[in-house]
Amino acid sequence: MRKLAALLLVTLAFAACKFNDAAKPKLPIMGNRDAVTKVVDGKQVTDTIYHTIPDFKFVNQYGDTITQNSLKGDIYVADFFFTTCPSICPIMHRNMLKVYNEFKNLPDFKIISHTIDPKHDSAAVMKKYADKLGISGNSWWLLQGDKEATYNISQDYLVKRPGPDAKEIFMHDGYFVLVDKQKRIRGMYDGTEEKEVSAMIEDIKTLRTEVDTEIAQ
Amino acid sequence: MKLKVIAFIAVLLCAIVISCQSEAEQDFKRYYTGGAVIYKEKCQNCHGANGEGLSALIPPLTDTAYLKKNKARLACFIKYGIKETIITINGKAYEGSMPANVDLTSIEIAKLLTYMGNSFGNKMGTIAFEEADADLAKCK
């Protein structure tokens, strides 16, 4: 009898855990949102339009053209840096390496790092940087392209637009921006803080389960 | 009587030695803790909290043999930076560049060297202001 009670207790505990799992809060969806009302089958429905990352066209360290289509079906993290940056970039990429090593074997995860100094950071320079950083394959792309386009897209990622002298005074935001498969921003983390980057690694795991269930439905 | 004098001298000598030792120790502590603050501010972003460096981009500060051998050049590295020189650390070649810190004084550099030289597995002892100053005078 006692044994039975114990068994029941254990089962209940497990069930409670399961329940908690399902009720786990999703990550927030960041940025401005709009509500649009449209008529579907004669009924008024209100849809929320979330802020999304627009299409882009850059070149990665292998010289391949990368557009939003290249990230189709991927969760990704974006940041902004330049290869000769002596201030916060080494800290950011020391931390990003942890993210890379955690997820590099997943087919649906990527990291993209935009250079804010495209004049110096050619694809060849970026390839050399990637080699020295110790990254290979296609899970971390270093993107180079039109300076104006890069600075514009930084605002779509909700980070501060680098100033005209961003390179000279080595000032730019050190954020890691987490983007879901629907191109919505789901998290912003200070890439210079080890703790925040650890939190991001956990959030990426959460986001993957969320997206997988959404697809299954 | 003689014995008393000898004992007195012995005690005096002991006192001097002990007080000197602790003064040297205090110097070391002062240099080391001061250096730790400067390291955090000026060096840690690149060389890391544990002197681990960053992949093949930035060398670690753990190559005790290299640091010993190049002890007299370290002050110059810190003050005037390093420009695209190939440096072999722990058997690996590095060729990046390190920014200059022209605003650091000789005493600050001595503190920094004392901190770096006695952290990350290094044991170089105190690197005094006079030593850093003399090394800096010879920078090319």
From residue B80, give the alpha-carbon distance in Å to each of A4, B56, B98.
76, 22, 9
pLDDT tens digits along A171-205: 567 999 999 999 999 999 999 999 999 999 999 99
Compute the average pLDDT of residues A135-152.
96
Q: What's the DSSP call for residue B121?
A: T
Q: CB of B127 within 8 A of CB of B113? A: yes
| Residue B14 in domain | no
| Residue B75 in domain | yes
Q: Rounded distance, CA A46 to CA A49, Å?
A: 10
Q: Which domains does chain A have, with CATH numbers?
A: 52-209 (3.40.30.10)
**pLDDT band per the 50, 70, 90 thresholds, residue A35:** confident
HSE, CB side, 13 Å, CA atoms: give it for residue A132: 21
Q: Is A20 exposed, middle or buried (0-12, 13-18, 19+ CB in 10 A)?
A: exposed
Whole-model pTM: value is 0.83
Q: Is B86 exposed, middle or buried (0-12, 13-18, 19+ CB in 10 A)?
A: exposed
Reference A126, options B102, B62, A214, A136; nearest CA is A136
| pLDDT over threshold 60, residue A142 | yes
Reference A199, options A112, A99, A111, A52; nearest CA is A99
| Residue B81 in domain | yes
Choose among A88, A93, A131: nearest Cβ to B54: A93
Beta strand segments in chain A, E = 33-40, 43-50, 57-59, 65-67, 75-81, 109-115, 140-143, 175-179, 185-190
Closest Cα in chain A, distance from residue B9 (Å) = 58
| Residue B8 in domain | no
Structure tokens that stand for B105 in this block: 């004084």
Q: CB of B132 within 8 A of CB of B110? A: yes
Q: Rounded distance, CA A138 to CA A1, Å?
A: 58
Task: Inform me whether the C-beta atom of residue B48 falls under 8 Å from chain A C-beta atoms.
Answer: yes
Compute the average pLDDT of residues B57-63.
97
CATH number for B99: 1.10.760.10
Q: Tell me which of A90-99, A159-168, B75-84 is least confident.
A: A159-168
ipTM: 0.79
Buried b (16+ CB within 10 A) or exposed e, A31-63: eeeeeeeeeeeeeeeeeeebebbeebebbbbee
| Residue B6 in domain | no
Q: Rounded distance, CA A216 to CA B15, Å?
A: 81
| pLDDT over threshold 60, residue B83 | yes
**pLDDT band per the 50, 70, 90 thresholds, residue A215:** very low
Question: By CA distance, what is B81's nearest residue in A?
Answer: A86
Q: Rounded distance, CA B41 to CA B44, Å?
A: 7
Q: Rounded distance, CA B104 to CA B108, Å?
A: 6
Task: Inform me whether the C-beta atom of residue B55 falls under 8 Å from chain A C-beta atoms.
Answer: yes
User: CB distance A86–B56 less than 8 Å?
Assistant: no
| Higher per-residue pLDDT: B25 or A98 | A98
User: CB distance A133–B45 less than 8 Å?
Assistant: no
Residue B123, φ and ψ in degrees, nearest 5: -140, 80
Q: Tell me which of A7-16, A51-60, A174-183, B6-15 is least confident.
A: A7-16
| Higher per-residue pLDDT: A141 or A25 | A141
| pLDDT over threshold 50, residue A216 | no
The total of structural domains in chain B comes to 1
Query: Residue B76 belongs to what domain range?
Result: 23-137
From residue A14, give the alpha-carbon distance in Å to each of A19, A22, A121, A202.
9, 13, 53, 22
